Amino acid sequence: MVPLGAVHSLQKGESMKTNLVLKLYLVVSGAIFLLVGLLHLLRLIYHWPIVVGAVTIPLFLSYVGFPVATGYAIWAFWLLRK
């Protein structure tokens, strides 16, 4: 993610281009993490299997992946509002 110092430095008069790039980064990364979190939640609800080659990915990884991905999305949108 973006260091908190980068967000605070924008308040001190950084260029408009830097501000727009940072906002775009936060929107895109927040949306991607939100989508990943939603997919983890849907996997937990519907018990979707994930198979990579001959290996089945355990369902419990979505119990970890859902709050982590959703937390990153919330953090990105929170930084965007600052």
Q: What is the predicted pLDDT for the residue at 12?
A: 57
Kindly report, residue by residue over 4-61, the tens digit of the pLDDT.
555 555 555 568 888 999 999 999 999 999 999 999 999 999 999 999 999 999 999 9
Q: What is the predicted pLDDT for the residue at 1?
A: 52
pTM of the model: 0.79
Among left, alpha and beta (phi > 0; psi -120 to 50; other), residue 51 is beta
pLDDT at 82 over 90: no
Residue type, 52: V
CA gap 10, 15 in Å, rounded = 8
| Class of residue 76 by CB neighbours under 10 A (exposed 0-12, middle 13-18, buried 19+) | buried
Long-range contacts of 5-12 (CB under 8 A, 24+ apart): 7/79, 7/82
